[in-house]
Structure 1
Amino acid sequence: MTFAAPPRGRDQPPPGPQIQHNRAGEERAAQLVHAAGSGTVISLVGLPEAPVSDHPGPVPAAVALRAVLQRTDVLTDGELSLLREWLDRIARSTT
């Protein structure tokens, strides 16, 4: 695919490097797509699991956050204790 360069005025910079289009055969293209898909799946499988809920609202969110709270190291012990208390209270609620 070739594009014609627009006419340049005196104040315009020279054109940048030419775009080079690479062409891959069908077999190579299929290999590249397969490799990209495999890498994505491997990356997703390596992610930590978090509880998933079909019900939106604060209770499932509190349960999910409580489940992964031990992975954080930015809160003090007192802050973690308070947050756990709040999340437990939300998780026990019925609303």
Structure 2
Amino acid sequence: MMNMQNKDTRLVARVDEETQQLIAHAAELTGRSISQFLIYAAKKEAMEAERQAVQIRVSRKSADKMLELLDNPEPINPELRAAALKHRKLARDFKNRRN
């Protein structure tokens, strides 16, 4: 029986000749094979995309304003209070219908 846990998956990409030559040259300059270079570059980009997706950057001024509002929230206006109560009732009614 073949051990499927050790089997690598294959990624395939089609590129124009100029891109292929650029990648091959860059791989050679870094001492990597084309596959190693592509995996390194793709993994690096994927990790950066994940980091940016979960990290929020704000200025010091914005951060201070957010903390101030969390410590001293503005009073809820009547329209927001009514919407929150309506949502609570709708959610409760929906839950009761499901049970």
TM-score, structure 1 as length reference: 0.28
TM-score, structure 2 as length reference: 0.27
Larger RCO (CA within 8 A; separation ≥ 6): 1
Higher helix share: 2
